[in-house]
Amino acid sequence: MNRTGPLPQLESLAAHSDVYKDSQRMAILDLGSNSFRMIVVEYVPGLSFKVVDEIAESVRLSEGMGESNILRAAAMDRAVQAVQIFAAFCRASRIKDIVAVGTSAIRDARNQSALLTRLKATTGIDVRVLSGEEEAHYGYLGAINSSTLVNGFVLDMGGGSLQITRVEDRRAREAISFPLGAVRVTERFLTSDPVRHAELEALREYLSRQFGTVRWFHYKPDTELVFVGGGVRMLGRLAQKMEGYPLDMMQGYVLSSNALKAIRKTIAEKSIADRRRIPGMKPERADISLGSAVVVYEALRASGFEQLTISAQGVRGGLFYEHFLQGDSEPLFEDVRKASVLNLAHIYRFQEQHALHIAHLTLSMLDQLPEGSHLCRSVEREILWAASMLHDIGVAIDYNDHHKHGAYLILNDGLPGFTHREIALIALLTRYHRKGEPVLGEFERVMEPGDARRLLQLCALLRLAEQLDRSRDGVVRDVRLTVDVGNQWAQMELLARGDGQVALWSVLRHRDIFQQAFGLQLEVTLTPGG
Amino acid sequence: MNRTGPLPQLESLAAHSDVYKDSQRMAILDLGSNSFRMIVVEYVPGLSFKVVDEIAESVRLSEGMGESNILRAAAMDRAVQAVQIFAAFCRASRIKDIVAVGTSAIRDARNQSALLTRLKATTGIDVRVLSGEEEAHYGYLGAINSSTLVNGFVLDMGGGSLQITRVEDRRAREAISFPLGAVRVTERFLTSDPVRHAELEALREYLSRQFGTVRWFHYKPDTELVFVGGGVRMLGRLAQKMEGYPLDMMQGYVLSSNALKAIRKTIAEKSIADRRRIPGMKPERADISLGSAVVVYEALRASGFEQLTISAQGVRGGLFYEHFLQGDSEPLFEDVRKASVLNLAHIYRFQEQHALHIAHLTLSMLDQLPEGSHLCRSVEREILWAASMLHDIGVAIDYNDHHKHGAYLILNDGLPGFTHREIALIALLTRYHRKGEPVLGEFERVMEPGDARRLLQLCALLRLAEQLDRSRDGVVRDVRLTVDVGNQWAQMELLARGDGQVALWSVLRHRDIFQQAFGLQLEVTLTPGG
């Protein structure tokens, strides 16, 4: 049992609301082979960030490029129109910090400069064309800062290319870019509608040969494969619809090789028109969806992974993190889970002092519980810490029902780095931190055995801590817990700064949940000035 | 048909995010006969306000006062403890602006000064004791600023007293306070458990005599009765549970005399222990719930009203509005509905320029539609205006799914002054302003005949306007709409400041919903520089 495990560090953060006044905005334009996207990120340097706007246009820039690598006139017109929207949007929103990158289609186009010149002339925007290695790098930066990947691979599939980066100890060690994007392989191999079996086979053989050239792309124990890109997100959506997944969350979703196989089969049997009726299918992606499914599935098969984890943050995320973390020695969060929690807390302007004190009290209680109480894994410390930090963020929506609003915000954010089970537990702890009988409800399907009891126990600690700091002044600086398991009895001594009567009175009114959770009668004593 | 009806004025507001930096906080303590409550309101003078914290303690101060009007020692101890929590909370949160008022129990107590001295000594807080008239005044101020009441009555029932204010042309004309609060009548009349029939009859007779003394308390055509206070809110909750009401919203809920009668009957048959199991019952109010039901029902019966509208804002709201609106000649919002919309928009820091332009475009289109399109009532202008102003507020939660978040925020806020049907329509317009087939769904039960079509039509206008201003730079300054009903055909001319190609292209991709909504083929033409 590891009690002193990865306890998130509780350093004091700048507690002044003034820090929020220094917020800045930047626009990141990602001109891909299939879609053009712009995100606007609002951020407070060193503190927090949030995507506040997004425009996506299905430009299909690589359409008809074929082997000649010439951008077609109609595709260029669509590209110019899309970037005009982005530029007008930035002007109207007074955003001056604009980063625009072009990937595979632009990179490979022999008439690249014609497009870049037109874009510059009509919109004033300079487009930086990323090499395959650079594209891989930014995909890796996005994925590594939104997951707990330590060793393994980041794969990034766009419309034009697929990047594979090998990760060791969180650093990118080598990377390669293939022209295996969803539009590219579809136009080259899957031209019939419905697709013929021979076409599929030809693509699979081709992919197998390509992946075979990368000697380092192999599963090893304790490695993970993180996948980014619009194509894999759509496959994730289809998988979630198929299994009736209870969470509306793509970040961190685990997609198995078996699920991918079933999806590939479903899509392969249908014409493009019929694919549009598959639940979760984006109509504008129906034609390239089979190409996506085949590439992703074959990548798993070639490397020997049985599952992949989806990250919703790719090249655009990477470009942002490079900027946001520029003061650091490397643009990597030291602890992604901690960064996610603090980011969410700051976005909704949490009351830092109260949150830190609640975290102190809950973790202190947790550490003083004996082993028989089943609370022993270090991950539970992190869940309890996260819920302690976030339990009041719902106040940003409304004080009334803020426990419900908080759960809504947590589930919506998706806390990159946490698994869906962990996120659901953090949301449920927030949901029940004031009142109500904590139940797993709709989330039961993503839970592990024993989680109902675990939720109840963690919730008991959080709710008692909340009562102890009801007046928000830290009057109870710590608690001393003595447990007599044999006699099913526990005593909690409140070490108070002042007289602490109010805290005593408040906690006594809520001891039922502790007794129910741990099967222990609870006595509470008060040591004023202790 | 009144097209020029109550069009909300679209004056330009200070569009700088700087204004939000001047936010202030005040705590309002309401020391009642049954519960003590503190709310913390964060506000930007002249702009917006929001309750950011609330603590409620069931103190039951008037317990055992009886006819002697002496506060009991145990009740005073509970009162001091509760105010100590409030005071510690304010100190910890650095809130210096504290307003504390005492109502019926404190007002009537012969040992009032003993309590006030103890409170001052232990917490430093000065309590202002409100007279019955003052209590009625603040209840009226809360209700009048959160409803569209013009002529009628505001009733405010607390634990100790009941206030009745007659309202004419939105002004309070006369008021009276009775010692008919829920705790008071329960202790005096309903002492058996379960209550005996004779006890109930005695209370009803007493109430009938008391109300009979107020000659001006009578229903007239075009008058309304607005009811505030914790007791009536709990009756509302019971009624909503009974009827399986689809909205979780108390502000603006209409409670009928018949529903009240059924609730009174249900409660009267049960012991206090059994009442706690009635869905929606607050356990700490179970004992006084019958008293509340009888007083409220008899008030309706005596005055001849068949229903009441609940406002969730009473004395605490009134005290806040007096402060917030102190620069105005009277502390009354000129237009409660407009104030609600702008307040919500500012709380979530809407993009004012874009919102105002969308409102301009949608209302312009609405006004150019012929009568046959069934969009003719002035209230629809207000709904469309409100949705135009609020359609993007969900971005405050997350850009992804901001249409869903916006609907969540609107439904949660409750937009005081709008009916539940109108709020649901505004939320649905926000929900469907980007995509999806607009359906009434769970809200069908609060809708009127024709609302499904009305939603679709208003949604079509909002969605087209959103496309016209996709680049957010107001490039399409207006539209000219020509409708040929006979030939089921319409033409929309875009009057653009710049070249407007992007807007034309965007709106053409969304014309289906217009065609479906109005049964008209839509042509779109562009007049650049027009």
CA distance B221 to chain A (A): 35
B54: which 2 tokens? 């609330």
pLDDT band at A371 (very low <50, low <70, confident <90, very high): confident
pLDDT given for residue A376 in this prediction = 59
pLDDT given for residue B374 in this prediction = 59
Same structural domain, B298 and B258: yes
pLDDT band at A6 (very low <50, low <70, confident <90, very high): very low
CA dihedral A436, A437, A443, A444 (to 10 degrees): -170
B138: which 2 tokens? 């603040």
Same structural domain, B52 and B181: no
Q: For testing the chain B interface, which of A39, A94, A412, A476 should be mutated: the one with the most B CBs within 10 Å?
A: A412
Same structural domain, A292 and A182: yes
Q: Are B24 and B18 in contact (CB under 8 A)?
A: no
CA distance B55 to chain A (A): 9
pLDDT given for residue A19 in this prediction = 53
CA distance A480 to chain B (A): 23
Closest C-alpha to B521, from B495, B482, B478: B482
pLDDT given for residue B15 in this prediction = 33
Closest C-alpha to A368, from A483, A446, A288: A483
Check pLDDT > 70 for residue A283.
Answer: yes
Answer whether residue B7 is part of any domain. Answer: no
Same structural domain, A480 and A360: yes
Cβ distance B413 to A398 less than 8 Å, yes or no, reads yes
Chain B residue with Cα closest to A80: B502
pLDDT given for residue A377 in this prediction = 66
Instruction: Give the residue from B93, B111, B129 where a domain finishes.
Output: B129
Check pLDDT > 90 for residue A514.
Answer: yes
Same structural domain, B344 and B430: yes
Cβ distance B92 to A502 less than 8 Å, yes or no, reads no
pLDDT given for residue A20 in this prediction = 62
Q: What is the CATH number of the domain that holds A356?
A: 1.10.3210.10
Q: For testing the chain A interface, which of B233, B353, B356, B399 should be mutated: the one with the most A CBs within 10 Å?
A: B399
Q: Residue A264 is part of which domain span?
A: 133-316
Q: For testing the chain B interface, which of A395, A437, A501, A506 should be mutated: the one with the most B CBs within 10 Å?
A: A395
**What CA–CA distance (Å, rounded) separates B250 from B232?**
10
User: Could you tell me which residues come within 8 angstroms of residue A443 by beta carbon, excluding any fewer than 6 positions away?
Assistant: A246, A247, A424, A427, A428
- Phi-psi label, residue A350: left if phi above 0, alpha if psi -120 to 50, beta otherwise: beta
Check pLDDT > 70 for residue A3.
Answer: no
Instruction: Give the residue from B80, B105, B129 where a domain finishes.
Output: B129
**What CA–CA distance (Å, rounded) separates A307 from A155?**
13
Check pLDDT > 60 for residue A11.
Answer: no
Cβ distance A51 to B400 less than 8 Å, yes or no, reads yes
**What CA–CA distance (Å, rounded) separates A29 from A121?**
17
**Among A52, A89, A397, beta carbon nearest to B395:** A52
For chain A, the average pLDDT equals 92
Cβ distance A412 to B398 less than 8 Å, yes or no, reads yes
Check pLDDT > 60 for residue A324.
Answer: yes
Cβ distance B409 to A399 less than 8 Å, yes or no, reads no
pLDDT given for residue B292 in this prediction = 98
- Pick the range with the lowest mean pLDDT from A347-351, A459-463, B188-192: A347-351
pLDDT given for residue B226 in this prediction = 98
Answer whether residue B12 is part of any domain. Answer: no
Answer whether residue A2 is part of any domain. Answer: no
**What CA–CA distance (Å, rounded) separates B78 from B403?**
46
pLDDT given for residue B37 in this prediction = 96
Average pLDDT, stretch A356-382? 85
Same structural domain, A113 and A137: no
pLDDT given for residue A373 in this prediction = 63
- In chain B the first and final C-alpha atoms are separated, in Å, by 31
**Among B81, B408, B502, beta carbon nearest to A81:** B502
Q: What is the CATH number of the domain that holds B176?
A: 3.30.420.150
pLDDT given for residue B145 in this prediction = 97
Same structural domain, A123 and A165: no
pLDDT given for residue B9 in this prediction = 32
**Among A93, A400, A408, beta carbon nearest to B472:** A93
Answer whether residue B500 is part of any domain. Answer: yes
Same structural domain, B146 and B234: yes
The phi, psi pair for B268, rounded to 5°, reads -65, -30
CA distance B311 to chain A (A): 15
Interface predicted TM-score (ipTM) over 0.85: no
Against a cut of 0.95, is the pTM above it?
A: no
Check pLDDT > 90 for residue A110.
Answer: yes
Answer whether residue A11 is part of any domain. Answer: no
Cβ distance B399 to A52 less than 8 Å, yes or no, reads yes
**Among A92, A472, A502, beta carbon nearest to B81:** A502
Which residues of B are less than 8 Å from A470 in CB distance?
55, 85, 89
pLDDT given for residue A1 in this prediction = 34
Answer whether residue A74 is part of any domain. Answer: yes
Q: For testing the chain A interface, which of B49, B400, B509 should be mutated: the one with the most A CBs within 10 Å?
A: B400
Angle at B290 between CA B284 and CA B294, to 5 degrees: 140
Check pLDDT > 60 for residue A17.
Answer: no
Check pLDDT > 80 for residue A43.
Answer: yes
Q: Are B190 and B286 in contact (CB under 8 A)?
A: no
Q: How many domains, chain B?
A: 3
Same structural domain, A431 and A490: yes
More confident residue, A192 or B473: A192
Which residues of A are less than 8 Å from B475 in CB distance?
88
CA distance B408 to chain A (A): 10
Average pLDDT, stretch A241-246? 94
Same structural domain, A89 and A164: no
Instruction: Give the residue from B254, B286, B316 where a domain finishes.
Output: B316
Closest C-alpha to A227, from A147, A291, A172: A147
Same structural domain, A110 and A143: no
Answer whether residue A167 is part of any domain. Answer: yes
Check pLDDT > 60 for residue A9.
Answer: no
**Among B81, B93, B470, beta carbon nearest to A85:** B470
Answer whether residue A107 is part of any domain. Answer: yes
pLDDT given for residue B377 in this prediction = 66
Q: Give chain B's residues under pLDDT 70.
A: 1-21, 372-377, 530
Same structural domain, B156 and B294: yes
Q: What is the CATH number of the domain that holds B76?
A: 3.30.420.40
- In chain A the first and final C-alpha atoms are separated, in Å, by 31
Average pLDDT, stretch A445-473? 94
